[in-house]
Amino acid sequence: MIIVLKPNQARRAEKAVTDEIERLGYKAHVMRGVARTVIGAIGDERTHANLEALSLWPQVESVMPVQKRFKLVSREAHPADSTVKVRHLTLGGRRFHVMAGPCSVESEKQLMETALAVKASGATLLRGGAFKPRTSPYEFQGLGKNGLKLLAKARKETGLPIVTELLSESHADMVAEYADVLQIGTRNAQNFQLLIAAAKTGKPVLLKRGLSMKIEEWLLAGEYILAHENPNLMLCERGIRTFETYTRNTLDLTAVPIVKQESHVPVVVDPSQGVGRADLVFAVCKGAVAMGADALLIEVHPNPSKAWSDGAQQLTLDGFSRLMTELKPFIHAAGRE
Query: Contacts with a copy of itself in 106-135 (CB under 8 A)?
Result: 133-135
DSSP state letter for 312: G
Give Cα separations from 265 to 62, 113, 187, 330 (angstroms): 33, 32, 21, 22
Assess 64 for contact with a copy of itself (CB under 8 A).
Answer: yes
Assess 290 for contact with a copy of itself (CB under 8 A).
Answer: yes
Quote the least distance from Cβ 132 to a copy of itself, whole Å.
Answer: 10
Assess 7 for contact with a copy of itself (CB under 8 A).
Answer: yes
Residue selected from 216, 229, 318, 325 as contacting a copy of itself according to rule CB under 8 A: 216
Instruction: Tell me how far apart the alpha carbons of residues 114 and 302 are, in angstroms, rounded to a whole number.
Output: 6
One-character DSSP codes across 81-100 = PP-EEETTEEETSSS-EEEE
Q: 177 phi and psi, to 5 degrees?
A: -65, -35
Quote the least distance from Cβ 23 to a copy of itself, whole Å.
Answer: 9
Instruction: Tell me how far apart the alpha carbons of residues 167 and 202 are, in angstroms, rounded to a whole number.
Output: 16
- Whether residue 263 contacts residue 92, with contact meaning beta carbons closer than 8 Å, is answered with no
Restricting to residues 245-284, which ones interact with a copy of itself according to CB under 8 A?
Answer: 245-247, 250-254, 256-258, 261, 274-275, 277-280, 282-284
Restricting to residues 39-58, which ones interact with a copy of itself according to CB under 8 A?
Answer: 40, 42-44, 46-47, 49-50, 52-57
Assess 77 for contact with a copy of itself (CB under 8 A).
Answer: no
Number of chain positions touching a copy of itself (CB under 8 A) = 114
Q: 178: Cβ–Cβ under 8 A, 6 or more apart, which residues?
A: 148, 149, 151, 152, 162, 164
Restricting to residues 304-323, which ones interact with a copy of itself according to CB under 8 A?
Answer: 304-309, 311-312, 314
Residue selected from 70, 130, 183, 235 as contacting a copy of itself according to rule CB under 8 A: 70
Assess 146 for contact with a copy of itself (CB under 8 A).
Answer: no
Restricting to residues 219-238, which ones interact with a copy of itself according to CB under 8 A?
Answer: 220-221, 223-224, 227-228
Assess 93 for contact with a copy of itself (CB under 8 A).
Answer: no
Query: Is residue 250 helix, strand or coil?
Result: strand
Name the nearest CA neighbour of 1 among 32, 23, 29: 29
* Residue with smaller CB distance to a copy of itself, 151 or 199: 199
